[in-house]
Chain A
Amino acid sequence: MRIADKMQYNQVQKNISKNRTDMADLQNQAATQRRINKPSDDPLATTRVLASRTEEKTNAQFVKNINQAKSFLEFSDQSLSELTELLVRAKELAISQSNDASANAQSRAMTAKEIEQIYNQAVQIGNRKLGERYIFSGFKTQTMPFDISGEYSGDDGDLKIQTQKDQFLAVNLPGSKIFMGKGFEVDGMIRPGQITPQSIDDLEGIKQRELESKELYQEDQDSKILLRGPASTGSSNQIGDKDPTNGDTGVNIFQVIKGLEVSLKTNDKTGIQSAMDLIDQSVSQVVLGRSEVGSRIMAINGSQDSLQKAIVDNKIVASQLEDADVFKLVSDINKTDAALKATLDTSGKMIQPSLLDFLR
């Protein structure tokens, strides 16, 4: 083949520029420590990197959510444990005043004072706040749930927090359930609404169902007969049974304590004895509530562990996809460097001599 001068120059230029381009590319990879610096470097991997980054950040948000939920649940648990202690103390007092051998009208009147204190403390527990939020008032976190007469002004809302991609968890127990005994399941358990609406259409459906059940409830309420005063309300309550007076399936703790206090004040021995049963029921109601809280804490601990693992996994996936293999990179750089030097060396030899250099 006939070799013209320009061919040589073109070739030299092309080769040097190719080696330099390779080198610049490798250097860029080394500097960023990344194999992918723009989508066209590896389109498929780029999309997977983006997806895994989204997941990583969302998971980090879920971890935040979980921490928030945990402090809420733990605070609820602590409050309920205090409530249990109060109830146990009330029971002790009731036992001590339940027979005439160890008690009389005077001691009962004295004990009534302590029970009043216990009642006040129970109301205070019902009004506990975590930060700026009442924990037992459902959605109405800015409204004090219980006044001193034990009237509830919160609602039955479940504060739901997203702990995983498709998982929502209620973090609160509405006071209406745990204190007032309303809205229990047939087995006496407290459960949040099972379905968490994830779209407006879900929400509309749920609202519709709520409306229907409210109407049923109202009908139910209207057919009830009001019985005697507060001392006897809830007296026939058994867990799982509906109270004929108000249709509740649990007991109203405030009324139970109030009832004990009234019985003590009026020196009503049978009243005190029946109150003991009710206190037992109250304790088991609170304990069931605590077990619900405990099981939720366990559930989110599990979520947290799996999230932490997922975060690490995601980092690994993204790293495998986008990070440069440093050993390979260094060896590639050395190879390219050698090639570049060889190109420069041979280029010098190739360009230099022509016949003219030998003519003298």
Chain B
Amino acid sequence: MSKISSMMDVGKRSLSNAQTALQTVSHNIANKSTEGYSRQRVDLVTNEPIGSGNLRIGMGARASQVSRVNNPWLEKQIQREQMNLGQAETKADALGRVEQVYNEQGTKGLNHQMNEFFNSFRELSNTPESLASRTMVRESASTLVQTFKNMNKQLKDVQTDLDGQIKTTTEEINQIAKEIASLNEKIQLVEVQNVPANDERDRRDLLVKKLGEKIDITWGEGNNGMLTITAGNTAILVSGTSSNELKAAHTDERDRVELFYRSTEKGSLFNITNQVRGGKIGGALEVRDDIIEKHLDTIDNLAYRMAEEVNYAHESGYDRYGKTNNSFFDLPKNVKGASETLSINEAIQLDAGKVSVAARPDSPGDNTIANIIGALQYQKVMDEGNSTLDDYYISQVGQIGTISQRAVKTFESQKNILDQLTNIRESISGVSLDEEATKMIEMQKAYDASARLIRTADEMFDTVLNLKRM
């Protein structure tokens, strides 16, 4: 048999359901712009009806749980693409700077200075007697040496800059790992009561994406809802409620920052630099250790070979004072670092008259050696006699241009992929104000109606209580 009191009870519960739903609407609206937020829904289910006789009377609805609308597989895909994006972005960024070192559209670079250098010898061969022409040769050589030094420095500056990026990124990684570990704990605490920890999970999903953007990670979720995250192959960043730190530090072997992992508080440091391929750090490492190193090697090689060839010709010539066997450049000891250590011979630095132009002693008009050095520009002295100095350098410019162009394109297409995935995610999990407004009206109406129901029940009570007086 139906009871007025149970009607009141249904009304009361319905009132509170509507209120819960409205509060969730307000939570959604408030988090409309929160990064990584998934819209939440109150799951209403009908209450167990009461049987009386052959009637089963519905007992209204109850809110079973507040759940988030979310596709975990999509989140995983986004996380992976974000890792690629992080790598592509850092690469494109750093290569853009490397490219500027080689950019001669507007500034005078190595190609220009090398040409000036050889032209100065050609000018000298016009007037081999003149001290002014010799001084010109010395000056153009000193500009060339300076240009080599500058290029070397600019490339190394980019490397140092990447070192700094790796360091800051590592600190961010440690922060994030710590937060994920504490979220792991909260989620476990909440979910052990069989209640989904929506907001915490949203936050953790977001952090995992951010972590992946910085370094390549693999991760898995345990039965207790806790994530285990590994960076590279072996560095376990987060395991349950504890997190381990990465350390970025200079090493003794080379003056560059490397990545280390310490598994326990007192354990030894383990170098994981070679394991990292993805994320911002992976991109930075690739540019720093692979691309820039290669380009440094090539300009070292260029500087060394040029100095060697010029010296070889110069040493068989005679200077103004009839002396032979003068070096033009001080040849660096090693090819490695030649672009940095190359310098003009001190004797020539002090006296341009020591520039050797003649092939015979005491022949001030003899320009044979100047001609030979001028002709060096067209000699195939690089790549085992396959290319000239110019070709060798220009092909480097072309190469860095191509690499940089490819990196930018990869970055752009990666960004498009991610944009599309994010769009799909928003389409599933994003908050729509229209929707929330509709829901709000719906729930407000439900709230009104529930209140009306209680009043009706109240009036029914009154009616019943007043029966006798009538």
Contacts and interface: CB of A to CB of B under 8 A. Distances in A.
Given A50-B394, A141-B129, A141-B365, A10 B426 contact: yes
Contacts of A49: 105
B29 to A, nearest CB: 10
Interface in A281-306: none
A203 B105 contact: no
Contact of A10 (B126, B313, B423, B432): B423
Interface in B425-450: 426-434, 437-438, 441
B219 interface: no
Interface string A24-62: 000000001010111111111011011101100110011
Interface string A140-181: 111000000000000101011110011010000000000000
Instruction: Give chain A's interface residue range (CB within 8 Å of chain B).
Output: 35 or more
A3 B372 contact: no
Contacts, number: 203
Instruction: Give chain B's interface residue range (CB within 8 Å of chain A).
Output: 35 or more
B457 interface: no
Nearest to B111: A50
Nearest to A196: B371
Nearest to B429: A4
A58 to B, nearest CB: 7
B294 to A, nearest CB: 16
A201 B95 CA distance: 42
A327 B378 CA distance: 39
A42 B402 CA distance: 8
Secondary structure dominating the interface of B: helix
Contacts of A165: 378
A111 B75 CA distance: 115
B401 A46 contact: yes
Interface stretch (A131-139, A218-226, A240-248, A309-317): A131-139
Contact of B374 (A11, A32, A162, A355): A162
Contacts of A202: 372
B214 interface: no
Given A39-B401, A43-B402, A139-B365, A51 B371 contact: no
A1 interface: yes
A41 B427 CA distance: 36
Contact of A142 (B104, B359, B365, B397): B365
B122 interface: yes
Given A54-B115, A139-B360, A199 B427 contact: no
A160 B95 CA distance: 46
B433 A142 contact: no
A209 interface: no
A200 B427 contact: no
A354 B433 contact: yes
Contacts of A42: 401
4 A-B pairs with least C-beta separation: A4-B430, A39-B401, A141-B365, A43-B401
Interface of B: 32-33, 39, 95-96, 99-100, 102-106, 111-112, 115-116, 118-119, 122-123, 125-130, 312-313, 316, 358-360, 362-368, 371-372, 374-379, 390, 394-395, 397-402, 404-405, 408, 419, 422-423, 426-434, 437-438, 441
6 contacts: A40-B401, A57-B116, A58-B118, A199-B313, A355-B434, A359-B441
